[in-house]
Structure 1
Amino acid sequence: MRLALIVVLALLLAACDQNMDVQPKYSEYSRAPLFRGSVLRLPPANTVARDDLEWERAVTTKPALSAELLGRGQQRFAIFCLPCHGAGGDGDGIIVHRGMPRPTSYHVDRLVTADDQHFFDAITNGYGAMYSYAARILPQDRWAIVAYIRALQLSRRASIEDVPPDERAKLRVQP
Structure 2
Amino acid sequence: MRPNTTTARVRNATARRPQRLAAAALAALLAVAPGCTDMYDQPRFEPYEATTLFSDGASSRTLVLGTVPREDVRGLPAVEDRELLLTGLKDGVAAQEPPFAVDRAVLERGKQRYGIYCTPCHGQLGDGRGVIVQRGFTPPPKYTEPRLVDAPLGHFFQVISNGHGAMYSFAARVAPQDRWAIAAYIRALQLSQNAKASELPPEDQSKLQEAVK
Give, in angstroms, the shift of residue 50 of structure 1: 7.6
Residue in 2 that maps onto 1:136: 173
SS of alignment partner, residue 187 of structure 2: helix
Unpaired segments ≥5 residues, structure 2: 1-50, 89-97
TM-score w.r.t. length of structure 2: 0.58
Match of 2:164 among 115, 127, 133: 127
Where do 4+ consecutive residues of structure 1 move more than 6 Å? 39-42, 47-50
Residue in 1 that maps onto 2:56: 24
Residue identity in the other structure for 2:161: T
Residue in 2 that maps onto 1:63: 100
Residue identity in the other structure for 1:149: I
% identical aligned pairs: 45
C-alpha separation in 1, matches of 2:99 and 2:208: 32
Residue in 1 that maps onto 2:206: 169
2:53–2:59: 8 Å Cα contact kept in structure 1? Answer: no
C-alpha separation in 2, matches of 1:48 and 1:102: 34
Structure number with larger C-alpha Rg: 2
- RMSD, aligned α-carbons: 3.1
Give, in angstroms, the shift of residue 169 of structure 1: 2.6
Unpaired segments ≥5 residues, structure 1: 1-18, 29-38
Q: Does 1:43 align with 2:66?
A: yes
Give, in angstroms, the shift of residue 168 of structure 1: 1.7
Higher relative contact order (CA 8 A, sep 6+): 1
1:14-41 CA-to-partner distances (Å, cap 9, x unmatched) read xxxxx9457435687xxxxxxxxxx889
Matches within 5 A, 1:75-86: 75-86=112-123
1:29-71 CA-to-partner distances (Å, cap 9, x unmatched) read xxxxxxxxxx8898389x987839x687242552212111111
**Count of matched residue positions in the alignment of Structure 1 and Structure 2:** 145
SS of alignment partner, residue 75 of structure 1: helix
